[in-house]
């Protein structure tokens, strides 16, 4: 097994445990408060690292107007995605909300085709179909084959999870644009996103 695959599995296990803990201990907090607090903690942990490794002038140099617009849009979509996801998590079961929120590739691929001239191979389409089908099968119970779709339409938690997946799709395309076209290092991007998302949600929190 490759290191990347093992890392992905480890990340999935950590994220699963994290979501269960959030549901168990923090779901009574308003999403704006929870996300703001986690971003403050993230800044406290992360800022000393980047302060040592990256000169402050290098964080914002070369961004330009277009880069600032992309960063602001990405931060806005990130804040929206996190808000609706944690709202859905507070209303529904983790095992139901989390998988729906992870069908991000369904939204990423059309955006890449339209805005980034991405050429899709058959394996891309099949992979998205398999992932989406897995979410459907996981939520199927006895009865009509359309019951999971009806449940999705009638569940506010599921609709919020779907909205978060769409917003995260925009976020991922924004991240790719940043990596390929803008002169921003990954560590600087993380710091900027922590600050911008916190700035957007803190007033509501």
pLDDT of the residue at 197: 92
Residue 20: partners with Cβ closer than 8 Å, 6 or more residues away: 94
Token look-up 């990340």 returns 11
Rounded Cα distance between 131 and 136, Å, is: 9
**Cα separation, 148 vs 170, whole angstroms:** 25
Q: Tens place of pLDDT for every residue, the chain, 205 residues?
A: 677 778 878 888 898 888 888 888 888 888 899 989 999 999 998 888 887 777 666 666 667 777 778 788 888 888 999 999 988 888 888 878 888 888 887 888 777 777 777 777 778 778 777 877 777 776 666 777 677 677 767 788 888 888 998 888 888 887 777 666 666 777 777 888 889 999 999 898 8
pTM of the model: 0.75
Q: What is the pLDDT of residue 36?
A: 92
Residue 129 · residue 195 · CB < 8 Å: no
- The per-residue pLDDT for 37 is 93
């Amino acid at each position: 097994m490759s290191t990347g695959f093992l890392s992905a599995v480890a990340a999935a296990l950590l994220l699963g445990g994290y979501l269960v803990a959030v549901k168990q201990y923090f779901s009574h907090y308003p999403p704006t408060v929870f996300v703001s607090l986690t971003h403050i903690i993230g800044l406290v942990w992360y800022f000393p690292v980047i302060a040592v490794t990256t000169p402050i002038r290098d964080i914002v140099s070369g961004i330009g107007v277009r880069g600032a617009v992309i960063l602001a849009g990405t931060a806005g979509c990130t804040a929206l995605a996190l808000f609706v996801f944690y709202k859905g998590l507070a209303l529904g079961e983790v095992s139901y909300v989390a998988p729906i929120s992870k069908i991000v590739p369904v939204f990423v691929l059309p955006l890449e085709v339209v805005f980034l001239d991405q050429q899709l191979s058959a394996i891309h389409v099949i992979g998205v179909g398999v992932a989406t089908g897995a979410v459907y099968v996981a939520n199927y119970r006895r009865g009509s084959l359309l019951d999971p779709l009806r449940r999705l339409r009638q569940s506010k938690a599921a609709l919020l999870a779907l909205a978060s997946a769409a917003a995260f799709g925009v976020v991922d395309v924004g991240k790719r644009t940043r990596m390929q076209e803008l002169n921003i290092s990954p560590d600087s991007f993380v710091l900027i996103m922590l600050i911008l998302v916190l700035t957007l949600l803190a007033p509501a929190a």
